[in-house]
Chain A
Amino acid sequence: MAKAIMYDATKCTACRGCQAACKQWNELEAEETKNTGSYENPADLSYRTWLKMRFTEVENGNGLAWLFTRRACMHCTDAGCVQVCPTKAVNKTDSGIVYIDREKCTGCGYCVEACPFDVPRLDGSRVTGKAKMFKCILCKDRVDNGHEPACVKTCPPGALDFGEREDMVAKSEARVAELGDDALLYGDKELDGLHVLYVVNHPLKDHKLPVNPEVSPAVTLWQDILKPVGYGVVGIVAGGLLLNYMVARARMVKAKEGK
């Protein structure tokens, strides 16, 4: 049932077809950018950049490597953004897509801060707070209609694949085995399983992927403890006040009658 993207960094050539295809399919406007001494651009994800490639030059005993890393929503199973969304605008579909129903989004931005991968972005104004959250939704409309996500479909060297998550995990494991010692699969277990799996053959830190991503304890505290406690406290107080009213009123009536 659950789907997943497999990103094989060892095949990726950073042609950035995915970056452009994402904008094309999702009707995202271009950013104004600068060359700051790198091929990498835009500098960061934004409300109109849902996917970008990261370029990293690494030199070690094995010579020079030019690493490319996909940067977009990981569609976590244990998704901080979903947990934290006060209006349930960010939600998880059966296929594992972390979807944002922008109608429901109030732009609070809690998801932005709750994401261990720093993915969700807000548009709009910081001052008025009127905003919506934007991020990769794994081309939900395409997936719902049996098509691959735009980035996967466009990938020339076949670095991206899409399918049933268990198939993608199996394929990734096979690829890792084929690549040998340095290779590893990222995303199978992280956050109860990401729906974007990475095959890399350089250390995660070289790819700037968080080694043990986790949803901040604050998010758990807030969502699983504080909120229910809040309802409880308010419930108790409200109940107490109601009781008080009934009792006090009854007494007053009694007292009056007594007079």
Chain B
Amino acid sequence: MEISRRDFFKLSGAATAGGFLIYQTLDAQKAAAEASLDLHKPIGEGYTICPYDGSGCGFLVAAEDGRVVNIEGDPDHPVNRGAACAKGASMRQLSADNERRLNKPRYRRAGGADWEDLEWDEALDMIAERIKSTRDANWIENEGESISRRTEAIGCLGGAALDNEECYLLSKMMRGLGLVYLEHQARI
């Protein structure tokens, strides 16, 4: 036997050292820091006001090719200072990407079991005709001796979800047509 006990220990020592060397090479913690990341999407520059409650919080919208990719609070807005609640932070899901959004005028005929698609022109023509016929057939020219000029057969609801310009035109149009049942969310 030519390998002495000493040699054996030497060899074992060398092998152990080798093992740890391998460990150092293969398993040691990486010293280098993780590389800096780019923003995975833009934060947003378009400015909007939240469509939810009456706080009037400012938001920034980022869109690519007309498609919303990010919405978050505008840090410079005095009311929300960049903040957004659960609804505000989810505002992106109101965008055209939400497949539940309506994208076509639709009509349901009397007694019909389902929707039918319409073109805009057709739809608005039909509505205009109905407004006119219902209004004219239910016109109240006088209340007793007094001039009254109204119709009580058409109601108009809504506005709190619209812009001021839309509300104003709605007010003007409906009063102009003689409606008196003009109401919206503020009442309920």
A–B contact via C-beta, under 8 angstroms = yes
Which residues of A come within 8 Å of B, CB atoms? 15-21, 23-25, 88, 91, 93-94, 97, 99, 101, 140-142, 144-145, 147, 150, 153-156, 227-228, 231-240, 243, 247
Question: Within the assembled complex, what's the spacing in Å between the Cα atoms of A145 and B12?
Answer: 52
Is A231 in contact with B23, judged by CB distance below 8 angstroms?
Answer: yes
Is B88 in contact with A235, judged by CB distance below 8 angstroms?
Answer: no
Question: Within the assembled complex, what's the spacing in Å between the Cα atoms of A177 and B89?
Answer: 33
Interface residues in B1-46 (C-beta closer than 8 Å to A): 2-3, 11-12, 14-16, 18-20, 22-23, 26-27, 29-30, 33-34, 36-40, 43
Q: Which residues of A contact B92 (CB under 8 A)?
A: 24
Contact status of A156 and B83, CB under 8 A, knowing A144-B37, A236-B16: yes
Q: How many contacts between A and B, using CB within 8 angstroms?
A: 114
Is A235 in contact with B16, judged by CB distance below 8 angstroms?
Answer: yes
Is B75 in contact with A156, judged by CB distance below 8 angstroms?
Answer: no
Is B85 in contact with A231, judged by CB distance below 8 angstroms?
Answer: no
Question: Within the assembled complex, what's the spacing in Å between the Cα atoms of A209 and B84?
Answer: 26
- Assign chain B's interface to a size class: 35 or more
Is B86 in contact with A17, judged by CB distance below 8 angstroms?
Answer: yes
Question: Within the assembled complex, what's the spacing in Å between the Cα atoms of A101 and B72?
Answer: 26
Contact status of A243 and B27, CB under 8 A, knowing A16-B86, A235-B18: no
Q: Which residues of A contact B3 (CB under 8 A)?
A: 247
With contacts A154-B82, A154-B84, A227-B27 known, what are 16 further pairs, Cβ within 8 A? A20-B85, A20-B89, A25-B70, A101-B34, A141-B38, A141-B39, A144-B38, A145-B39, A153-B83, A154-B73, A154-B88, A228-B23, A232-B23, A236-B16, A239-B12, A240-B12
Question: Within the assembled complex, what's the spacing in Å between the Cα atoms of A99 and B43?
Answer: 21
Is B84 in contact with A239, judged by CB distance below 8 angstroms?
Answer: no
CB distance from B36 to the nearest CB of A (A): 4
Contact status of A24 and B85, CB under 8 A, knowing A91-B34, A93-B33, A141-B40: no
B90 interfacial contact with A, CB 8 Å: yes
Q: Which residues of B contact A227 (CB under 8 A)?
A: 23, 27
Is B20 in contact with A232, judged by CB distance below 8 angstroms?
Answer: yes
B80 interfacial contact with A, CB 8 Å: yes
Is A153 in contact with B18, judged by CB distance below 8 angstroms?
Answer: no
Contact status of A235 and B72, CB under 8 A, knowing A17-B89, A24-B92, A156-B83: no
Q: Which residues of B contact A150 (CB under 8 A)?
A: 72
Nearest to B26 among chain A residues (CB) is A231
Is A240 in contact with B11, judged by CB distance below 8 angstroms?
Answer: yes
Nearest to A238 among chain B residues (CB) is B15
Which residues of B come within 8 Å of A, CB atoms? 2-3, 11-12, 14-16, 18-20, 22-23, 26-27, 29-30, 33-34, 36-40, 43, 70-73, 75, 80, 82-90, 92
Question: Within the assembled complex, what's the spacing in Å between the Cα atoms of A90 and B17?
Answer: 28
Q: Which residues of A contact B72 (CB under 8 A)?
A: 21, 24-25, 150, 153-154
Question: Within the assembled complex, what's the spacing in Å between the Cα atoms of A247 and B82?
Answer: 75
Q: Which residues of A contact B85 (CB under 8 A)?
A: 15-17, 20, 154, 156
Q: Which of A91, A155, A231, A237 contacts B27 (CB 8 A)?
A: A231
Q: Which residues of B contact A145 (CB under 8 A)?
A: 37-39
Question: Within the assembled complex, what's the spacing in Å between the Cα atoms of A233 and B82?
Answer: 57
Q: Which residues of B contact A17 (CB under 8 A)?
A: 83-86, 88-89
Question: Within the assembled complex, what's the spacing in Å between the Cα atoms of A20 and B3?
Answer: 71
Nearest to B71 among chain A residues (CB) is A24
